[in-house]
Amino acid sequence: MHVVAQLLTPGRTICRAPGSSKKRLFETLASVISKDQPTLSDSDVFSQLIARERLGSTGLGGGIAIPHCRIAHCTEPMGCLATLQEPIDLTRPTISR
């Protein structure tokens, strides 16, 4: 349980997050992460999430997705847990350039 407490903090937990698209959701996640971790800019987190999603969808199906990325100056693993206000249509194409 201690490992989970290190990965997920109350500050990086969102209930009923807004976002009608993957892009909007990634903007929300990036904002939440950068507010909790001031050394990470929201634009850097957002661009890395988008870059990873372009490689292939991180949606697993059944309403579950695990968007993830690497950021060069992020020295420890961290997570952000979110439930959505409205489901996102995953049948749409992945994020384009």
CATH of domain 16-84: 3.40.930.10
- Residues 2-40: tens digit of each pLDDT: 788 888 999 999 999 987 888 999 999 999 999 999 999
User: Tokens 């992945």 label which residue?
Assistant: 94
Q: Which residues are catalytic?
A: 68
**Phi, psi dihedral angles at 73 (to 5 degrees):** -95, 15
Angstrom distance (rounded) from CA 48 to CA 51: 5
Tokens of 60: 């697993």
pTM (predicted TM-score): 0.85
- Residues 68-92: tens digit of each pLDDT: 999 988 888 999 999 999 888 765 6
User: Tokens 């993830």 label which residue?
Assistant: 68
Angstrom distance (rounded) from CA 38 to CA 45: 11
Question: What are the residue ranges spanned by the domains of the chain?
Answer: 16-84
First to last CA, the chain: 39
